[in-house]
Amino acid sequence: MTTTQARHDALGEATLGELAQALRGELVRPEDPSYDEARSIWNAAHDKKPALIVRCRGVADVLRGVEFARSEGLSLAVRGGGHSIPGFSTCDGGLVLDLSPMNGVRVDPNRRRLVAQAGCLWQDVDAEAQAFGLALTGGLVSTTGIAGFTLGGGISWLVRRCGLTCDNLIGADVVTGDGQYLHASEDEHPDLFWALRGGGGNFGVVTSFEFRAHEVGPTVFAGIVFYRGEEAAQVLQGFREAAAGAPDELSLAINLTTAPPLPFLPEEVHGKPIVAVLGVWSGRAEDGDVATRPFRGLAPVVTDLFGPMPYAAMQTLLDPLYPRGMWNYFRSAFFADLGDATADALVSAYSRAPNAVSELHIHHLGGAMGRIPADATAFGTRDREYILNVVARTPGADGFDGVVEWARSTCAALGPDAASYVNFTGEASQDRVRASYPPATYARLVAVKDRYDPTNLFRLNQNIAPSAASARQS
């Protein structure tokens, strides 16, 4: 008998029946036909078997699920969009609180506010906001959940104009481990509100988010320009120079990758190294050609797909490239500039890319994100112009250890102490969590954790251990 089955059976039919009766949503158990689909997450490297999955339809279900996990001593995994790279939104033998049925969105176009339930994906929010010519600073892949994304920070195509997603959070409703239902904002529980903006899922279950929205589109000037892989060094150098004068309305990224066999790329480059520079100009669409031009001639161009397009189309453009079901590991490092040493390290790592689907994403930051004081939110690394996200993938288990090693060594080459970003981190080791926060931010996060989750019920995350747990470990 598996641990999962044993844990499930130990709960007893009567207890489980009572829980199922009390829920508005569904209780999924290992014997149910929907169990395998319900337990799966985006990253197939984490094939776990929870004892129970509670599909929440509202706050009442969240309260019941949290209380059940606490009273029965079950591990508790909280799931929004299920895109956690380290697999935190599932667990073996515990309870998964799946918020995906909670996907309502309400837009207030006059006040440019948007309230979204925590099970929303970016495609839900983008569709509702764009109906009013508004947008949040939301994910580059529309199937990503807003919850984990926002709580960890949120880097988007509007990051330089509008800041991180968490910078646009106005308030959140939260169920804490002891069953309280709180509203966190600048005026209510401000310590919790500070921690929710970068501190991840450590403090409770967020049931809904209120955001500030921005006027964007519906037409923006956006797209991708491709250069041959052998031009990578020249592209990085040119990008550095062009980026120095880039306006805030322009958010770009560089992807050092392998050309997929897509019709808009000439056949002779298919399967060969290719450099993509991609992003969004969200100022007046008619100014986009001029604003993006410095980045569209960094080397001989293979294909230039920049042009006016619906913001909504750009938000789904990359979806087919990042499907569910592959084995994934991400590793990240912030860095100050694209100087020669950094560019050399990136080009060298690129030349050692272990397969066609493992790639280096370099996001240009700064702008509005960089002007927010580092202590204003728990997302404390704001003084670096760039972040590297190493996306290491394999179709299955074969070769996965090798790509993980490549990702680790690539980041180590940028400096062993480089700060990292919790949402772009494929593991949960204490040194990675600490590397994600300046020391003063980390200490403040521990204080908030002590106040709102002293028993560490919410520990399946980039965990901020409460003082009591740290004391026990030492």
Ligand X SMILES: Cc1cc2nc3c(=O)[nH]c(=O)nc-3n(C[C@H](O)[C@H](O)[C@H](O)COP(=O)(O)OP(=O)(O)OC[C@H]3O[C@@H](n4cnc5c(N)ncnc54)[C@H](O)[C@@H]3O)c2cc1C
Q: Return residues touching ligand X (CB under 6 A).
A: 42, 78-85, 88-89, 99, 118, 139-141, 144-145, 147-149, 151-156, 200-201, 205-206, 322, 423, 460-461
Burial class (CB in 10 A: 0-12, 13-18, 19+), 104: middle
| Least distance to ligand X, CB of residue 294, Å | 23
What would the two tokens of residue 417 be?
A: 């102490």
Other CB atoms within a 10 A radius of the CB of residue 341 amount to 12
Q: What share of the chain is helix, strand, coil (3-state, %, to 5)?
A: 35, 25, 40
Q: How many residues does the chain have?
A: 474
Give the span between the Cα atoms of 445 and 452, in whole angstroms.
11
Element (H, E) at 340: helix 340-351
Nearer to ligand X, 171 or 201 (CB): 201
52-55: strand order across its sheet: 26-28, 52-55, 95-98, 76-79
How far is the C-alpha of 149 from the C-alpha of 143, rounded, in Å?
Answer: 11
Cβ 114 to ligand X shortest distance, Å: 16
What does the DSSP assignment read for 414-432? T-TT----GGG-S---HHH
Nearer to ligand X, 228 or 400 (CB): 400
Backbone angles phi, psi at 171, to 5 degrees: -170, 165
Instruction: Say what angle helices 59-72 and 13-22 make with each other, to 10 degrees.
Output: 160
Nearer to ligand X among residue 203 and residue 269 (C-beta): 203
Minimum distance from residue 231 beta carbon to ligand X (Å):
25
Best CA proximity match to 388, nearest among 367, 428, 368, 415: 415
Dihedral over alpha carbons 358, 361, 351, 266 (to 10 degrees): 80
- Cβ nearer to ligand X, comparing 326 with 412: 326
Kindly give, in sequence order, each residue whose CB lies less than 8 Å from that of residue 306, ignoring residues fewer than 6 positions away: 221, 222, 223, 224, 225, 288, 289, 292, 296
Cβ proximity to ligand X, 19 vs 78, nearer residue: 78
Q: Which C-beta is closer to ligand X: that of 65 or that of 148?
A: 148
Rounded-to-integer distance, Cα 287 and Cα 280, Å: 12
- Minimum gap (Å) between residue 376 Cβ and ligand X: 18
- When the beta carbons of 30 and 200 are compared against ligand X, the nearer one is 200
Cβ pair 175, 204 in contact under 8 A: yes
Q: To the nearest whole angstrom, how small is the minimum distance from the Cβ of residue 82 to ligand X?
A: 5
Least Cα distance to 262 among 308, 303, 213, 216 occurs for 303
Nearer to ligand X, 201 or 288 (CB): 201
CB of 451 to ligand X, least distance (A): 16
Minimum distance, C-beta of residue 165 to ligand X, in the bound complex (Å)? 7
CB of 384 to ligand X, least distance (A): 15
CB of 41 to ligand X, least distance (A): 6
Rounded to a whole number of angstroms, the minimum distance from the CB of residue 65 to ligand X is 11
DSSP result, 233-247: HHHHHHHHHHHTT--
Closest to 199 in 3D by CA, of 397, 419, 445, 458: 445
With b meaning 16 or more CB within 10 Å and e meaning fewer, what string describes 152-167? bbbbbbbbbbbbbbbb
Q: How far is the CB of 458 from ligand X (least distance, A)?
A: 7
Quick one: 68 or 269, whose CB is closer to ligand X?
Answer: 68
Measured from the CB atom, the residue of 158 and 213 that comes closer to ligand X is 158
* 200 versus 273: smaller Cβ distance to ligand X: 200
